[in-house]
Amino acid sequence: MLYANRLGTQRVSAVLPANDSWRVGVLFSRTGVTSVTESEHLSGTMLAIEEINAAGGVLERPIVPIYYDPGADNRAYRSLARQLLTEDEVNIIFGCSMSASRKAVLPLIERHNGLLLYPSMYEGFEYSENVLYTGATLNQNTFALADFVLQRYGRRVFFVGADYIYPRESNRVMRDLIESKGGEVIAEHYLPLDADEKALEPMLQEILRLKPDAVFSTVIGQSAQKFYRMYADAGFDRRKTPIASLTMAESEIRVIGAEKCSGHVLAATYFQTVAGEANERFVAAYKGRFGKEATTSVWSQPAYAQVHLFARALERAGSLDSHKISKAVLWEEFLAPEGKISFDSDTRHAWLTPRIGVARSDGLFDIEWEAQGPVRPDPYLTTTRFEETWLRA
């Protein structure tokens, strides 16, 4: 609990001499447009570190996080990563959420031979020996969602996205999928990352006019929350015409209001409602730590799991050396709350279990479909076929 009462301050420094502890860096935004989801990354990370320390640490030394809040600003990500790597002399960093923040710190991480553990879902097409990718790449969330939307809601789909790389890439792939399966993308629009009600209104009017069978949204952060609220107020029948997304999970739904979100669809590798003892333990620990109203999600869980994977690798390697940790972690297998996870050594991405959930009135999800087991990550989409059927009609 070293950091616990210090989390409110901007910087949490190591209180023990360096050789009595394992010092690691943590970079997630508790402020800015993505504050809700990135705070969950942070909570998952901190919970795992506390658990490990409570159980005696790794090789009898505690893990000590040095945390900074980049405020969802990519320049801050870069300068704080530099601060961690140079001033604080830390080489392991748990951090980043949007691709732009990962790209901002990557050159520094590579130059200093650090190791970034990245917990967010993203668009793939990256490989660095200085990164471990714990979040889902497109073949682990987007592919099954196309089948689900077409089979359950209909063939006319409306696309709306935030204007940055993840929406652009996932929409490109989603369009190929929908079209190769006989569906139709009736509109595709992009909004600024910080779009407000005024920017969202014309979009909503067009959805009302075109009457799609479903909306595929890759809008994120605060504008996504606004969009979902406006969608609820516009009176759509969400059971028939939901918004499907890859990111709108439990905790953001709680912020929007669960009653405004029931019926919406999420494709993710984790839901709070995943069955199993490992998840029950995780949910109980999370609520115990962050309050009984707190919900776990695909934002907190991978962040939590990757710390545990790291700790096991550290135990095996006995050193924080980036290369040794990398080598060791690729051998680990961990029974995470979402199920068994491990890294694929060819791509350094995680094997994960794709799932699709429909939001309930209590803000959690009914898991309507899940893959039979973990699916191999395919960040360069080399083996995944667009025509393949993931869900039997």
Partner 1 sequence: MKGEARKILEDLRRARVLVIHPQDEDGGLLINHLKRLGCEVRASWPLPAVLPSDVDTLFVLVDDLPMVDQLSIALDDRNPAIIAIVTYESPTSLKAIIDLNAHGVISKPLRPLGILTQFALARYRHGYETRLSGKVQKLEETLKSRRQVEKAIKILVELNKIDDESAYRLLRDQATAKRVTMSSIAQSIITVNETMSGLGLTVARAAKPE
Instruction: Using CB under 8 A, list all residues that contact partner 1.
Output: 106, 110, 125-129, 172, 175-176, 179, 346-347, 380-383, 386
Tell the residue number behind the tokens 């970079």, with chain if given: 27
Q: Compute the least distance from the CB of residue 382 to partner 1, in Å.
A: 3
Residues 6+ apart with CB under 8 A from 48: 303, 304, 305, 307, 308, 311
> Closer CB to partner 1, residue 152 or residue 349?
349
Residues 6+ apart with CB under 8 A from 74: 100, 101, 104
**Chain-centroid distance, C-alpha 25:** 19
> Closer CB to partner 1, residue 367 or residue 381?
381
Amino acid at 370: E
Half-sphere exposure of 364 (CA within 13 A, CB side): 13
Q: Compute the least distance from the CB of residue 365 to partner 1, in Å.
A: 31
> Closer CB to partner 1, residue 51 or residue 110?
110
DSSP one-letter code for 12: -
> Closer CB to partner 1, residue 110 or residue 315?
110
> Closer CB to partner 1, residue 73 or residue 110?
110
DSSP one-letter code for 193: T
> Closer CB to partner 1, residue 194 or residue 346?
346
> Closer CB to partner 1, residue 315 or residue 344?
344
Q: Compute the least distance from the CB of residue 172 to partner 1, in Å.
A: 6
Q: How many whole angstroms separate alpha carbon 116 and alpha carbon 299?
A: 17
Interaxial angle between packed helices 99-111 and 165-180, expressed in degrees from 0 to 180 and rounded to the nearest 10:
120
Residues 6+ apart with CB under 8 A from 372: none
Amino acid at 288: G
DSSP one-letter code for 290: H
Q: Compute the least distance from the CB of residue 58 to partner 1, in Å.
A: 30
Q: Compute the least distance from the CB of residue 105 to partner 1, in Å.
A: 13
Q: How many whole angstroms separate alpha carbon 85 and alpha carbon 87?
A: 6
Q: How many whole angstroms separate alpha carbon 182 and alpha carbon 93?
A: 44
Q: Compute the least distance from the CB of residue 384 to partner 1, in Å.
A: 10
Among residues 274, 299, 304, which one has the least CA distance to residue 289?
Answer: 304
Q: Compute the least distance from the CB of residue 381 to partner 1, in Å.
A: 7
